[in-house]
Amino acid sequence: MKLSIIILCWNDRKVIDDCLQSIYSNTRSTEFEVIVSDNGSSDGSVELIRASYPNVHVIENGRNLRFAKANNVGIRASRGEYVLILNPDTLIHDGSLDRMIAFADQHPDAGAFGCRVLNADGSYQVSARPFASLKGEWIAALYMRWLGRLNEWFTADSYPGWGGATQRQVDWVSGCFILARSHVLKSISGFDEQFFYYYEDMDLCRRIRQSGHLILYFPGATITHLGGQSTKGRFSPLPFVLDGQITRYFYYYKYYGKSGVLWARRISFVSLWVRLLGFGLKQLSAPPKQCGSAWKFCATYSSGTTG
C-alpha cells in the first residue's frame, strides 16, 4: 500500500461526502486506502460513509477524542508507505495526490510535505509557516512584521514576500493536509495528545524536524480547504479561542519551560495594550463618549475586573 489517508470525522456529514468523492475521483495512479476515525458522530456521517464508500475503513471511537488522539488511532491502523492527515472539509484537486506522492518519492531526505491550499473562493490560504517562537510573537505584537522583508531576523509568523507559489523548505504545514512518511510518523508516536486543539500540527512538524527530516512545501499539488465549514454555526467560537490559548501555553512550556509560559503571557498583554492603544488613537476623531469607552475598557481589562 502506497498511501493511507486518515480523515477525522465528528458530525461532518455535510462535507465529508464531497471530500471522499474528490479523493476517489481525482486520484488515479496511487494505490491508497482511506481510514475515517469517527469521534462519536450522531448526524448520520458513519451511515453515509458505509453506504456510499464501502471500501473506507471506518473506526468508531464512540466519543470525541479530539484531533490529535483520534488521528493517532488512524495512524496506528494505517498500512501505507505514506500517511496523509486530511481534514474532512477539504477537496482534492485533479491529480494532486498522485503528484504529491511522486514529489515525495523524489525527496527521500524529507519526512513531511505540505501542498498549496486554497480558500473556497479560490484565493490562497496560508498553510506553511515558521515555528512559533517568543521572538516571533514579540515582533508580531509590536507590529514589526514588515521588517522581515528587509532582514530575515524579523521573520515572525509568516514568510515575508512569499505567497506559496514556489517550492521551499518550511518549518511546519497546516494540519488540514500533512503528508508524512509512515515510518517517520510512527517513530515519533504521531501527534502529541496534550495538544487537543491547535498547535498539534506545528508540534508534529517540529518533532519530525528534530528527528533529522526536512519539511517541504510543494505547490504542484492543490486542495481547497473550506475552513471550519463542518463546525460553522454549531458552536460558540469562545471555547475554541480558549482552547487555543491553553494549548499555546502547553507549546511554550514544552519547548521553553516555565519561563516561556510567563513570557508568552506577557506578550499577550503587550499585544492587547498595543491594539487598544491603536484603537484609542483611531477614536480620537470620534465623539468623546466613544473614545472614553475604549480607554475605560483598556483600564478595566488590565486590572483584571472583567468577567
- Give pLDDT tens digits for 101-135: 999 999 999 999 999 999 999 999 999 999 999 99
Q: What pairs with residue 224 in β-bridges?
A: 91, 118
Q: Which CATH number fits domain 3-126+163-225: 4.10.520.10, 3.90.550.10, 3.40.50.280, 3.30.1490.20?
A: 3.90.550.10
Share of the chain above pLDDT 70, in %: 89
Domain regions of the chain by residue span: 3-126+163-225, 237-302
Of 86-95, 125-134, 288-297, the one with minimum mean pLDDT is 288-297
Of 166-175, 240-249, 268-277, the one with minimum mean pLDDT is 240-249
| Residue 279, SS3 per DSSP | helix
pLDDT score of 242 = 82
Output 92 or 230, whichever has higher pLDDT: 92
Query: Is residue 23 within 8 Å of 36, Cβ to Cβ?
Result: no
Q: How confident is the model at residue 193 (pLDDT cuts 50, 70, 90)?
A: very high
Query: Is residue 93 within 8 Å of 223, Cβ to Cβ?
Result: yes
Question: Which three cell numbers mark 20?
Answer: 471522499
Give the chain's mean pLDDT. 91
Q: How confident is the model at residue 228 (pLDDT cuts 50, 70, 90)?
A: low
Question: Which three cell numbers mark 188?
Answer: 515519533
Question: Which three cell numbers mark 218?
Answer: 510543494
DSSP state of 176: T
pTM for the model: 0.88
Residue 29 above 80 pLDDT?
A: yes
pLDDT tens column, 238-256: 777 788 889 999 999 999 9
Residue 287 above 80 pLDDT?
A: no
**Arithmetic mean of pLDDT, 150-163:** 95
